[in-house]
Amino acid sequence: MDKKLLYCTIALIAGGMIMVYSASSVMAASRFGSHYYFLQRQFMWLVLAAILGGLVMKIDLRKFAACSVPFLFVTLLLLAIVFVMPARNGSHRWIFMGPLTVQPSEIFKLVVIFYLAFSLSQEKRDIRELKQLLLPYAPLLGAGLILIILEPGLGSAITISLTVIVIFFLAGVRLRHLGTLILPLVAMGSFMVFVLGYKKPRVIDYFSAISDPLSGSYQVKQAVLALGAGKYIGAGLGDGKQKLFYLPYPHTDFIFASIGEEVGLAGLLVILALFLFIVIRGMKIASYQPDRFGYLLAMGITASIFVAVMINVGVVTSLLPTTGVPLPFLSYGGSALMISIISIAVLLNLSRRKGVVTR
């Protein structure tokens, strides 16, 4: 298998565990009486993800993908169940299972990639026809995206939508047909924001922060201050000040700012270099696949990781409006960590297929 990809992923996970503890220890002690509360829960998810990832590396992915349609319906059911669960921070995104919480939108993202890779690789599927593109895909994908937006989970919906567009493009869908899919999404998003007021304050704060980041929302201000305080080499691991109840969610969606404060620009460049390496290895694995299914699957997973990183970093650095997208492998969150590790396990599985040689 592609050991370089494996070692790179392990390095990111190890760095993520360290930073989750560093960014959350004070909050954990204040709220739960233990500095290790969030670290322990993240480690529990890491063990579960490693076990599942080990299994995924050995299974026949094509046979698993053949069952993607039933899995897709199950995931849609899970997305509906979240609305009967207690709200957390005003959102219905999680299913509570004792000490564990599961975020179905993360599962939906991976299942959709499997479903599209398998379906679009079928010879009988003529995706050059608009009817062949709309009828099987629009209802299922549209239902999932609507449920995720209603949670509300706009960041997850955007991540999934961009990943789907990339897969369709690589599968050979005509550009005018892609436009037929993209324009309604853009129109619906504009209507929801500027007419219905969905997330409108965040968009207004974003435009205010373009000229001056310190005139943006509170989260943006604190993230900018954290990044600025880190300068080139950082304040030192564990010595960040913004995590002391200034920066909201310093160990989840805004962990990139916490990392920047403690290890500086140099540390952030290392993190981004590792992500870039994962993207390059994923594209290389895709290019060596012996069939269309493996190619679309590898590229879909690579695109989902790339899009998530770009959105998260863009939000933290004030280049994009604030939205909740975790940074893969680094942000605190069991479902996101599990799906990220399983995604890498799929790439490692694909790198072991007959005829695939990556160097």
Cβ burial, residue 26 (10 Å; 0-12/13-18/19+) = middle
Instruction: Give the whole-angstrom CA distance, residue 336 versus residue 328.
Output: 7
Q: Which of 172, 168, 201 is nearest to 185 (CA)?
A: 168
pLDDT by residue, tens only, the chain of 359 residues: 899 999 999 999 999 999 999 999 999 998 888 999 999 999 999 999 999 999 999 998 988 888 888 999 999 999 999 888 887 877 788 888 777 788 999 999 999 999 999 988 887 776 777 776 777 788 888 889 888 888 888 888 889 999 999 999 998 888 877 787 777 777 777 776 666 666 677 777 777 777 776 677 788 888 888 999 888 988 888 888 888 888 888 888 899 999 999 999 999 999 999 999 999 999 999 999 989 999 999 999 999 999 999 999 998 988 888 887 899 999 998 899 999 999 999 999 999 886 665 66
Burial grade of 203 (CB within 10 A; 0-12, 13-18, 19 or more): middle
Looking at residue 140, its pLDDT comes to: 86
Q: How far apart are CA 351 and CA 246, in angstroms?
A: 44
Quick check: 264 and 231 in contact, CB under 8 A? yes
What DSSP string runs through 161-219? HHHHHHHHHHHT--HHHHHHHHHHHHHHHHHHHHTS-TTHHHHHHHHHHHH-GGGS-HH
User: So what's the pLDDT on residue 342?
Assistant: 96
Question: Which letter does DSSP use for residue 290 in this model?
Answer: S
Enumerate the domain spans of the chain. Answer: 3-351
pTM of the model: 0.91
Angle CA 224–225–230, to nearest 5: 100
Tokens encoding 253: 């969606």
Residue 152 preceded by cis peptide, ω within 30: yes
- Which residues neighbour 221 within 8 Å (Cβ) at sequence distance 6 or greater? 213, 214
- In terms of phi and psi (left: phi > 0; alpha: psi -120 to 50; beta: otherwise), the region of 270 is alpha
The Cα 75–Cα 70 span in angstroms is 9
Fill in the amino acid letter for 143.
Answer: A
